[in-house]
Copies of this chain bind each other. A is one copy, B any other.
């Protein structure tokens, strides 16, 4: 659909050809709404059957994908859309996106942690087949999660036992969380609240509630504002530190008593959201994909994933009555994921620096 386009000409500043107006926004919203309806149909057709195990996950992903884009457009191009309609719909989209995303988040968090434990404990760690199993993505929305007994800890020394027990503990905790998220998502998809959102989006697929002036309004100033919000937030990041490898910043206060000891992550999470808003705003203006923006976004996704995985390891370590070897493995795992956080910041800095030079 969108073609790869490496030309650094920035559609937000280049202004080649006639400027897109509210018409372009309406077209974009209609196509995203259509995507949503197609994904919803696909999800309902395949829902719950074992045969199409991959399909519900794909459909759920497609649903989230279109919901994020519609929500972002409502935010960035707010002045061009009917205010009452837009203000009513946005929190509903946020609720839907959050609800549908939780199961996948727990699933990929567990996969990330088990793969890390496998890497840390060498080839003998029994959890490896579990990780591969989880990564097959066979447990997403629409398929019933399969409860599995933890692999027995092999007596190869307390550290490996610790890694195996840590893996089993994380598996129990995150599988339980995922199962709950799965039920919540299924309930949500059957609720009247969801049907109201779906009806709203069905209307959007044919008729976008633009304000009268929208048709003649240039979209660029609003898209540029989104870009500037991103750039301001990036400027406030500690990029100089992040650009020095092994700065040991991400693990600072890793043993602090503060239950959320990493407020340092918040500005990066914020930049991740602003980058996504900028990317979606850009999509409205041009079909060209900015590969550098995608890469920068992937760095920040990795940052967020590692940050949450590290928190899950720390949280599992607070489980009462765990063995010291289990706690030790969780400590190693926590630090490993915090270094992944630091590595992701470094990668973002490198990517962003290139971007700044080439545009």
Q: Which A positions have Cβ atoms within 8 angstroms of B?
A: 117, 119-122, 124-125, 156-160, 162-163, 245-246, 248, 251-259, 261, 314, 317-318, 322-336, 339-340, 342-343, 346-347
Contacts and interface: CB of A to CB of B under 8 A. Distances in A.
Contact of A257 (B156, B259, B323): B156
Contacts of A246: 245-246, 339-340, 342-343, 346-347
Contact of A335 (B323, B336, B347): B336
Contacts of A324: 317, 322-324, 326-327
Q: Which of A158, A331, A332 has the most chain B CB atoms closer than 10 A to its own CB?
A: A331
Contacts of A328: 317, 327-328, 330-331, 334
Contacts of A336: 248, 251, 254, 335
Nearest to A335: B335
A330 B318 CA distance: 15
Nearest to A339: B339
Given A158-B318, A329-B331, A122 B253 contact: yes
A350 B331 CA distance: 30
Contact of A331 (B119, B251, B252, B327): B327
Nearest to A245: B245
Nearest to A256: B122
A347 to B, nearest CB: 8
A204 to B, nearest CB: 43
Contacts of A327: 324-325, 327-328, 331
Nearest to A318: B158
A235 B251 CA distance: 33
Nearest to A166: B255
5 smallest beta-carbon distances between A and B, as pairs: A331-B331, A245-B245, A157-B257, A335-B335, A246-B343
A167 to B, nearest CB: 10
Identical chains bound together, number: 2
Given A324-B323, A326-B324, A343-B245, A255 B160 contact: yes
B331 A330 contact: yes
B255 A163 contact: yes
A248 to B, nearest CB: 7
Contacts of A257: 122, 124, 156-157, 159-160
22 contacts: A119-B248, A121-B254, A122-B253, A122-B256, A122-B261, A124-B257, A156-B257, A157-B259, A160-B256, A160-B257, A245-B245, A245-B246, A245-B343, A248-B343, A251-B332, A255-B329, A317-B324, A324-B324, A328-B330, A331-B332, A331-B335, A332-B335
Contacts of A125: 255
Contact of A255 (B159, B323, B343): B159
A335 B120 CA distance: 10
A120 B159 contact: no
Nearest to A163: B255
A348 B40 CA distance: 55
A24 B91 CA distance: 83
Contacts of A326: 324
A253 B4 CA distance: 40
A304 to B, nearest CB: 17
B334 A332 contact: yes
A258 B120 CA distance: 12
Nearest to A117: B255
Contact of A339 (B248, B256, B258, B323): B248
